[in-house]
Amino acid sequence: MRPEKTPPGSSQLGTSPPVPHHPELDAPPPAASPAMIMSALAAPPIHPSAQAAAPPELTVVVPCYNERPNIAPLIAKLDAALTGIAWEVLFVDDDSPDGTAAEARRIAAHDPRVRCIRRIGRRGLASAVIEGALASSAQYLAVMDGDLQHDETRLPAMLAALRGGDCNLAVASRHVAGGDAAGLGPRWRHALSDGGIHVAQRLLPVRLSDPLSGFFMLPRELFERLAPSLTGQGFKILLDIVLSAPAGLRVTEIPSRFRERAAGKSKLDVLVLAQFAGLLLDKLLGGVVPLRFIAFAAVGALGVLVNLAVLTVALKLGQVPFASAETAATVLAMVFNFVLNNEITYRDQRLRHTPLWRGLVLFMLVCGLGAAAGIGIARALYSEHTAWSLAGATGAVIAVVWNYAVSATLVWRAR
Ligand code: GDD
Ligand code: MN
């Protein structure tokens, strides 16, 4: 390390008694001479705690949502597993209602190796990992779940593989000899995971036995280079990295077992599958068509189907007059689109509680205009002897296109 200039009159390490933790609280500040100010500007003094602690070589980025009971045990496990390594852990919490961030900060108050980013109005594992990784200055980055399911004792082996320089991506794999996925849980989770792995492997430029692993390590500098091309959507951050990596990715797989979740519950559900499909589609299309637009189009198409289904039932079974049937079908398709867009398209900024209802009301109000136009056109077409299905579909499409524009700018506008 570069020797630091010391302001004249200040104590030298080794010749002075131990530095108190908060000297500014114990003694009045000494009067500063112009010379002292100049020399302080030239070389800012290092805070005593920074002198003691080596800068971390490894940042363990831990995305977490409602993991409060797992925070302290995870830090203890890292402490035990990483002896001899200068490490820090960076929790990225999406404002969990259970107070995960507060728990991390409670420990961070007396342990400088613990840091926390609290994100507000955002959700998403992949984007949390990206933000955490970009807040690190360490040479290596590890990504690890915050629920104790990943075996932290594998971290030194992963770091050793990277330090050796033989690889620039170390992946903890459940599907190589010595690995184990038993903790994944029910059979459907295994089937889902196996299916996903199969699809992913066909698209991957490198051989990976466990491309859905959420536990891996790489040099920060490599991550920084890839960061601008990551989609940041959904759960599959490793897949995102591998698909975005230019040639030259050298992967080592480290066998790892996947433990059962002790506390809290999994946030991975069936909708994650839709996001997974979206990520693959995005990569296949080379990122030309925005992922959100694809989701919008898919939801819109389903909305048209709902509209037509309701119209069919109302006309054929309920003998409802066309105008009322078309109105009911449009309103139902609108609610359907709102819910689906909130759950899938805008999953990362999902509206909940009061904002959800406000969003729905806003959506209905502004879209009422689009719906009125849609209904008007459908009626006009129907009275011109256009088939009821074509008239209905035209009206629905007009209303749905309007919904796109409105939701992007007004309902889910980024904070
Ligand atoms: N910040 C943030 N925001 N963290 C999140 C979010 C979110 O929206 N959703 C989940 N997490 C955190 C969880 O708190 C946990 O620490 C980690 O991400 C993994 O989430 P789980 O809900 O425990 O996922 P899982 O155990 O079902 O899935 C794991 O295994 C899969 C393999 O089958 C993850 O590691 C996946 O990435 C992996 O593919
Ligand atoms: Mn988990």
Mean pLDDT, the chain cut into blocks of 10 residues (415 residues total): 40 40 45 55 50 82 96 97 97 96 97 97 91 97 96 97 94 86 78 78 82 93 93 81 83 92 76 71 74 80 89 89 89 90 86 88 81 86 90 81 76 72
Name which residue sits closest to atom 35 of ligand 1, judged by CA: 214
Measured from the Cα of 62, ligand 1's closest atom is 16
CA distance 91 to 93: 6
pTM of the model: 0.68
Name which residue sits closest to atom 16 of ligand 1, judged by CA: 146
Q: Is 214 in the pocket of ligand 1 (CB under 6 A)?
A: yes
CA of 214 to the centre of ligand 2 (A): 9
Q: How many residues does the chain have?
A: 415
Query: What is the Cβ-side half-sphere exposure of residue 116, based on CA atoms within 13 angstroms?
Result: 24
CA distance 204 to 63: 24
Q: Residue 78 belongs to what H/E stretch?
A: helix 68-81
Query: Which ligand has its closest atom nearest to the C-alpha of 116?
Result: 1
Q: Is 184 in the pocket of ligand 1 (CB under 6 A)?
A: yes
Measured from the Cα of 235, ligand 1's closest atom is 37
CA distance 331 to 372: 10
CA distance 415 to 121: 7
CA of 86 to the centre of ligand 2 (A): 26
Query: Which ligand has its closest atom nearest to the C-alpha of 215?
Result: 1
Q: Please state, as a whole number, how many other Cβ atoms lie within 10 Å of the Cβ of residue 309.
A: 13
- Taking Cα atoms as reference points, which of 275, 264, 80 lies closest to residue 192? 275
The pLDDT of residue 39 is: 53
Residue with tokens 């830090």: 75
CA distance 66 to 147: 9
Q: Is 259 in the pocket of ligand 1 (CB under 6 A)?
A: no
Measured from the Cα of 258, ligand 1's closest atom is 30
For ligand 1, pick from 144, 210, 268 the residue to mutate: most ligand atoms within 8 Å of CB: 268
- Taking Cα atoms as reference points, which of 64, 179, 191, 68 lies closest to residue 129? 64
According to DSSP, residue 131 is labeled H
CA distance 136 to 129: 11
Q: Is 314 in the pocket of ligand 1 (CB under 6 A)?
A: no
Which residues does 315 contact at the CB level (< 8 Å), separation at least 6?
A: 322, 325, 388
CA of 371 to the centre of ligand 1 (A): 39
Backbone angles phi, psi at 97, to 5 degrees: -65, -20
